[in-house]
Structure 1
Amino acid sequence: MPVHKTDPKDVVPIGQKIAFGAGNLTNQLLPASLGVFMFFLVVGFGMSPYKAGILAAIPRFIDAVLDPIMGYISDNTRSKWGRRKPYIFGGAIVTGLAFILMWQLKIPIEGDNFETYNFIYFLVVSVLFYLGYTVFAAPLIGLGYEMTPDYNERTRLMAMSQIMGQIAWMIAPWFWFLISRPELFPNAPTGVRQLSIWVGLLCLVMGIMPAIFCKEIDQSNLQGQTKLSFKGIVTNLKGFFHDIKKTITNKPFLRLCGATFFVFNGFQIVAQFAFFIIIFYMYNGDQQAAGQWPAWFGTVSALATAILVIPFITYMSTKIGKRNAFIVSTVISIFGYSLKWWGFHPGNPWLLFMPIPLMSFGIGGLFTLMMSMTADVCDYDELKNGMPRKEALFGAVYWWMVKLGTSLALFLSGVILSSVGFDQNAKAQAPATITALRIADIIVPSVAGLLAIIVMWGYNISEKRAKEIREELVKRRGDL
């Protein structure tokens, strides 16, 4: 396979790569933290599971609906600060502050019922949080797609971004441990309230870094943008749906979405199974005996992804191409999933870490390569459909699909737990239940990975093809 040397002018400076990665750290730390904090909304603040489910569903629905709209707005914005930076900067501030405020709930006191107050307060502030999150995230993804036009440099940029994003998943599993420590906080609600301040401020500071230090595409060559205004809302809506149609009928992009859907959701469906297997198989339901092993399992997985998998996949993609690198990494992850049968060993918890380096090739390869390939697809779309470029819209639709798939994955996860006979009220589970759960833990992500390989087999934007597309675009409108 031909491998060209990246033109120096197309190399993203290391400072900009780190700044963009800082934005992705915020983008990853927010959902990672929410996953922990929502647990304490029920067990700490006394919110009923039913109401907690409503609080989780409504803001996320709003976020999913607004994602493509925000992508369209960003793509069609013209300002002296750029199409992305104003939204990233303002969105990061709103999101960070709203995250802090969202968790300043009233602590339940015996005899007083603050559930209704907390419900209304959390719902209102969480809607604000997700509005800010959408304003921040959609332009951030679009910015990453346009920071370099080079086929391989795009992968290196996304690799740095994903490495920094993995930091979120290294530290988030320990939040529940810190919050529950009596020597740190008098009670769990106080721990949530105080820890949220540090998380929100960190996300705010990291989130504005791309707006300050990263470089956008030259707007002088951009054409075909819709003039955004309240008076022209009908025209804007027509333009929005017109661009959406072009996005969702882009065949290479649909392959990326389909492969992501299978790999990511195969992983998501069984993500919590490791926790159950460690506790109920390795430690026969004794959570105290299981200790920190579940947290270490998550942290080491993220660490292996960051320092081993992503750098190797980045190197591999420059040698055999992005599609082939994805297929190889997915095959390796399937082999890793199969090793979980021996890794979860009641007599030796250290074997937990045996399958992790191979399993991590699944998620580690997925987003590093898919984000890079989506940037290539944006060039293909411009070649096929002309201006305006739709980086943020492609990114928003892609992540909308991921969010939709996550909801489905969480539902299917519950279906599997129920179908194997898992009893949430029992301290120990039946041997047949544990065996069925262990089999599902291997089979589900493995089959999903094979389906993803089938979907990606026909993906045809190779390095050679990407170079041809770029050359044609340069002829049309000047240097990219």
Structure 2
Amino acid sequence: MTNTTADVSASGHTEVTAHRDKIPVLRKFIYGLGALVNNLLGAAIGGMVIVLNLGLAMNPALVGLVSALPRLTDALTDPLMGYISDNTKTKWGRRRPYIFCGAIVAGLVYALIWQLPREQSEMFYFWFFLIGSLFFYLAYTVFATPYIALGYELTPDYHERTRLMAVQNFMGQMAYLLAPWFLWFMQNDNLFDDMIQGAGWLAIIIGAFTIFVGILPAIFLKEPNLAILDKPAKTDTETFSPGIKGFFKGFAETLKNKPFLCLCGATFLVFNGFMMVSSFQFYVIIYYVFAGDTNLGSEYAGWAGTLSAFSTFCVIFITAKLSTMFGKRRAFFIAIGLSIVGYALKWFCYTPDNPWLILIPVPFIAFGLGGLFTLMGSMIADVCDVDELKTFARREGMFGSIYWWVVKLGMAVALAAGGFILTATGFDVALAGEQTSTTITLMRIADAGIPLICSIIAIGLIVIYPIDEKTARQVRNQLEMRRGKV
């Protein structure tokens, strides 16, 4: 029985994943369960907030405000939690205590904030949900930030990191198959008296799932030996002391890390280029392909969404294989290149002459987000190695928290910009299927062109990203020599 796994790279030579670097399938699955919990919480609170409007008749503006305000705190709490996690020392490790406690508190608070009292004023519900959400997002951060950081350090192997992130991304995507059914569940007359009662029970189910599944990574996954990671610098290289000064110094150092900024920029462009026009395809399908027929357009859009979900599951593992064969940078070029083909195909396949052609671009476009989040986590782990070589510190928490904060901030900006772009096309809902030809053309250009251009620029950023497989292995060897490991 061999103790290594061989991967053939693009250059034809064999790279070996040592047995000690491999993560057993069961542990990958357990880490993936954490992603399911993480994504489920994010999707649930976003999908269930409609209850405040439809069930409690809150003003939509207040609903939007109460949804957005708690997320602004992430700008501080995410990096702060990353810093705290990076600098924690317990016999259970740096990450696991926070993952364990964060899952329990997040699950409890989420269940409680949806037990909405009846017959209260609009402002009562606003403050009740705002205060509850602040506590929830704080507990959510305590769970999610160390959980993400844990994934970056579970293995030092260049390719095994990508395999782990593929499993994580695959299982995390399952949350988005469940989330569309939440509204159906909450307003089901056969189960509940009204939507408010349905939301209360759904929150209890999600909260219990968060508690009992979210603690599993903390129980069953092992962190690396911290004694070999905290070796003090013997030169004039950077070091980070604990405390407020250390937090700001580490934060600034992270933002100066050029490879990391390349990854953040590429993610911002690919993800938010897609999100900026995420609703455009529905408008183009309904008002161009089906001349304003909302029912028929929604049906075809639903089929496209279903195909997209299943395509993404397949893309995740295709991307992991491409990374093994060609390296992460080339895999990124291939995946995003295929998504660019998909965006370009929209111009030709979204046609009234044959509506079923709208399905053709879908599998290509799936390579965008499916490939992006499979590769980015693995590449950030490589950046953390390069950072340790310079700073003598492991700062996965800081890197992960800033990366995901950039994603969340960019998504908020993209969704807001999408509304302005739609308005700029001249779209008028009162015209129904009688939109002007100029409006239709501008909508189609935005739908296909914005994510296409963003993706091309993202490829340019990864062209200058300096860490390839050879570099990553050299950095690892230097780190292990410095730590005294064989």
Q: TM-score, normalised by structure 1?
A: 0.91
Question: Are the aligned partners of 2:270 and 2:451 in contact in 1 as well (CA < 8 Å)?
Answer: yes
1:397 aligns with 2:408: no
Question: For residue 411 of structure 2, what is the aligned residue in structure 1?
Answer: 406
Distance 1:370 1:173 in 2: 26
1:23 aligns with 2:23: no
Question: For residue 60 of structure 1, what is the aligned residue in structure 2?
Answer: 71
Question: For residue 45 of structure 1, what is the aligned residue in structure 2?
Answer: 56
Distance 1:35 1:431 in 2: 34
Distance 1:347 1:178 in 2: 37
Distance 2:453 2:207 in 1: 38
Instruction: Select the residue among 263, 266, 269 that pairs with 1:259.
Output: 266
Question: For residue 311 of structure 1, what is the aligned residue in structure 2?
Answer: 317
Q: Kindly provide the amino acid, as one letter, of the partner of residue 419 in structure 2.
A: G
Tell me how far 1:301 sits from its aligned partner.
1.6
Question: For residue 440 of structure 2, what is the aligned residue in structure 1?
Answer: 434
Change (3 A) 1:401 1:316: same
Q: Kindly provide the amino acid, as one letter, of the partner of residue 430 in structure 1.
A: Q
Question: Are the aligned partners of 1:171 and 1:299 in contact in 2 as well (CA < 8 Å)?
Answer: no
Distance 1:144 1:465 in 2: 21
1:149 aligns with 2:160: no
1:355 aligns with 2:361: yes
Question: For residue 471 of structure 2, what is the aligned residue in structure 1?
Answer: 465
Question: For residue 190 of structure 1, what is the aligned residue in structure 2?
Answer: 197
Describe the superposition over 1:294-321 as per-residue Cα deviations: whole angstroms up to 9, x where unpaired. 4443343222111x10111101111111
Question: Are the aligned partners of 2:282 and 2:297 in contact in 1 as well (CA < 8 Å)?
Answer: no
State the percentage of identical aligned residues.
Answer: 47
Tell me how far 1:429 sits from its aligned partner.
5.7
Q: Kindly provide the amino acid, as one letter, of the partner of residue 211 in structure 1.
A: A
Describe the superposition over 1:332-387 as per-residue Cα deviations: whole angstroms up to 9, x where unpaired. 0011112223444557654443222110100011111110000000000011222x
Query: Secondary structure of 1:6's match?
Result: strand
Which one is further off, 273-282 or 93-102? 273-282
Question: For residue 282 of structure 2, what is the aligned residue in structure 1?
Answer: 275
What is the 5 A alignment of 1:83-98? Answer: 83-98=94-109
Distance 1:41 1:426 in 2: 30
Question: For residue 230 of structure 1, what is the aligned residue in structure 2?
Answer: none
1:202 aligns with 2:209: yes
Question: For residue 333 of structure 1, what is the aligned residue in structure 2?
Answer: 339
Change (3 A) 1:295 1:22: farther
Describe the superposition over 1:267-291 as per-residue Cα deviations: whole angstroms up to 9, x where unpaired. 1101222333344444555544555
Q: Kindly provide the amino acid, as one letter, of the partner of residue 17 in structure 2.
A: T
Change (3 A) 1:124 1:135: same
Query: Secondary structure of 2:115's match?
Result: coil
Change (3 A) 1:354 1:173: farther
Question: For residue 231 of structure 1, what is the aligned residue in structure 2?
Answer: none
Tell me how far 1:215 sits from its aligned partner.
1.3
Distance 1:182 1:37 in 2: 17
Distance 2:339 2:90 in 1: 44
Question: For residue 126 of structure 1, what is the aligned residue in structure 2?
Answer: 133
Question: Are the aligned partners of 1:252 and 1:459 in contact in 2 as well (CA < 8 Å)?
Answer: yes
Q: TM-score, normalised by structure 2?
A: 0.90
1:367 aligns with 2:366: no
Change (3 A) 1:56 1:305: same
Question: For residue 228 of structure 1, what is the aligned residue in structure 2?
Answer: none
Question: For residue 214 of structure 1, what is the aligned residue in structure 2?
Answer: 221
1:384 aligns with 2:384: no
Distance 1:102 1:278 in 2: 38
Describe the superposition over 1:153-173 as per-residue Cα deviations: whole angstroms up to 9, x where unpaired. 000000000000110112222
**What is the CA RMSD across the aligned residues, in angstroms?**
2.2
Question: For residue 235 of structure 2, what is the aligned residue in structure 1?
Answer: none
Question: Are the aligned partners of 1:155 and 1:368 in contact in 2 as well (CA < 8 Å)?
Answer: yes
Tell me how far 1:175 sits from its aligned partner.
2.5
Instruction: Select the residue among 423, 426, 442 that pairs with 1:418.
Output: 423
Which one is further off, 58-67 or 78-87? 58-67
Unpaired segments of 5 or more residues in structure 1?
A: 226-233
1:320 aligns with 2:331: no
Which one is further off, 137-146 or 404-413? 404-413
Question: For residue 24 of structure 2, what is the aligned residue in structure 1?
Answer: 13
Change (3 A) 1:67 1:193: same
Instruction: Select the residue among 171, 179, 199 that pairs with 1:172.
Output: 179
Question: Are the aligned partners of 2:287 and 2:435 in contact in 1 as well (CA < 8 Å)?
Answer: no
Question: Are the aligned partners of 2:272 and 2:414 in contact in 1 as well (CA < 8 Å)?
Answer: yes
Distance 2:405 2:46 in 1: 18
Q: Kindly provide the amino acid, as one letter, of the partner of residue 314 in structure 1.
A: A
Unpaired segments of 5 or more residues in structure 2?
A: 1-10, 233-240
Tell me how far 1:265 sits from its aligned partner.
0.6
Distance 1:137 1:356 in 2: 30
Q: Kindly provide the amino acid, as one letter, of the partner of residue 320 in structure 1.
A: F
